[in-house]
Structure 1
Amino acid sequence: MIRRYSFPNLLTWLAPVLALAVAGCQTDSVPGPQSGADYFPLEVGRYRIYAVSDTLWTNFQRTATSYQFREMITDRINDATGQPGYRIVRAKRMLPTDLWRDDSVMFVAATDNALLLTRNNRRSVELVFPVQPDRSWNMYAFSLVDTALYTMNLDNRRYQDVAQPFAASAGGKTYRYDQTLTTALVVNNNNAYGADDDYYRSTYEQVYAKGVGPVYRARRRFSYCPEQVGSCKRSNTRIYKGRTLVEVLIEQGKM
């Protein structure tokens, strides 16, 4: 079935972190397609354009905006640690007729074990290889500050819907992909990043298409009550404050 979308203790914690860090530094080779690396092709000149729906809630008031992001692989370089990878420049425009303006810079590196993304001086584990259904991992294994927050649940990302078709819509057009995988947030009510209860909700989903890369992203963080009020519930259907950010790939190619 095609899914459719519209717009513990310290020692226990350190062991998997160090294991992943060591594994990621063992080789500079690029993993082969059989590992799942072809869900995020890395090639200088490749670009992807996303239609973005951005909705904010403040004091129960909703404000919605739309714009576009373009992510382009501009260079193959080494990061500050000597790890080879690719520089990705993200640009933004409000209307398709506007000029692109650079918004941020990212660095992506693929090892035999993982795909690593560095943004704002923080490295995250976006994918782990080989790709396997229901496999989970700690996205912040390289960030000691972030990982410390996950003492109750080290695995905060997981694979779901591996090698499945997917469809997403934007601007009245539907984009279909035959083979995709989805990474999703592991919900855990004991940490602020993955809570999902009557008062708060935080979800994350990113879909990758084989041979294309990320084709859909959705991040949602809601609070259903003012902090000083503890009697309201999600059944009220009103959002006190929060944000929903949805990105749908609408164009991709190589310059």
Structure 2
Amino acid sequence: MSCQERATSPLPDDSAYFPLEVGNYWTYQVSTETYLTANVPTKQSYQLQQKVSSSYQMNGQLVFIIDELTRPTNQSPWTLKSIRSLYKNRVEVIDQDNNSPIVKLAFPIAPSTSWNKNLYNTNPLSLLRYEAIVRPFISGKNRFDNTVTVLGTNDSTLVSQEKYLRVYARSIGCVYQEDRSLAFCQESPACLGTGAIQSGTTAKWVLIASDRFP
């Protein structure tokens, strides 16, 4: 049984928010913070590049190979981090990450469209939906005039905070993403509700270069 709400005949250009051609690349400035109990956060900043290195046909479906590379600064050489496959059709975009398929986007792009990103794996239900459709978005030094936002969990309570956010620009791809998974202090009544972080991680990706835009 599916938790998806989507039509079977999406607009032909919906997948333009996730372009895929051999040779495409996207370079991000990544910032992360890791919180451990009774410690200040460990911060990291590095560059990550996703590059479409090749493609092949499988059962009539065109599958793309994505090389993911990292480097500490733009003066450093790239180091291959991982390789995965990705494909899209008129219904969805599937990212095969660590042999666990994730539904990145579902079509049509509309406020009423929602989907379970873990539909094809055994992980718990995780619903995504669209908001801020065809809106301008500023990411770093770049302005993108036509974007859609994908929002997943976005909850904050006295004890935790969870956030999943992706912004896709038409004809370019993902230009920004943010993840948060934090646990707040509960060790004493004095710290409960203060927002003091006890453990967890945050990550932000900002697109800084791509062959898809000047």
* Global fold match (TM > 0.5): yes
Note the 1:93-242 alignment, pairs <5 A: 93-143=71-121, 145-146=122-123, 149-150=124-125, 156-169=127-140, 174-187=141-154, 196-225=156-185, 229=187, 231=189, 232-233=191-192, 235-242=193-200
Contact in 2 for aligned 1:35/1:131 (Cα 8 Å): no
Match of 2:12 among 28, 34, 37: 34
Quick one: distance in 2 between partners of 1:102 and 1:82? 29
What CA RMSD, in Å, does the superposition of the two structures yield over aligned residues?
A: 2.5
**Where in structure 2 are there 5+ consecutive unaligned residues?**
none
Contact in 2 for aligned 1:69/1:91 (Cα 8 Å): yes
Quick one: distance in 2 between partners of 1:73 and 1:33? 25
Identical positions, percent: 26
Quick one: distance in 2 between partners of 1:105 and 1:112? 24
Closer, same or farther: CA 102–48 of 1 in aligned 2, 3 Å = same
Kindly state the Cα deviation for residue 132 of structure 1 after the two structures are TM-superposed.
0.6
| Aligned length, in residue pairs | 209
Aligned residue for 1:117, secondary structure, equals strand
Moved over 4 A (4+): 17-20
**Where in structure 1 are there 5+ consecutive unaligned residues?**
1-14, 24-30, 188-194
Contact in 2 for aligned 1:136/1:156 (Cα 8 Å): yes
Please identify which structure carries the higher strand content: 2
Counterpart of 2:68 in structure 1 is 90
2:37 matches 1:59 = yes
The TM-score normalised by the length of structure 1 is 0.75
Closer, same or farther: CA 230–36 of 1 in aligned 2, 3 Å = farther
Deviation digits for residues 167-217 of structure 1, max 9, x if unmatched? 022xxxx21100000111145xxxxxxx53210111010100001000001
Q: 2:95 is aligned with what amino acid?
A: L
Aligned residue for 2:16, secondary structure, equals helix
Match of 1:250 among 197, 204, 208: 208
Please identify which structure carries the higher helix content: 1
Contact in 1 for aligned 2:4/2:114 (Cα 8 Å): no
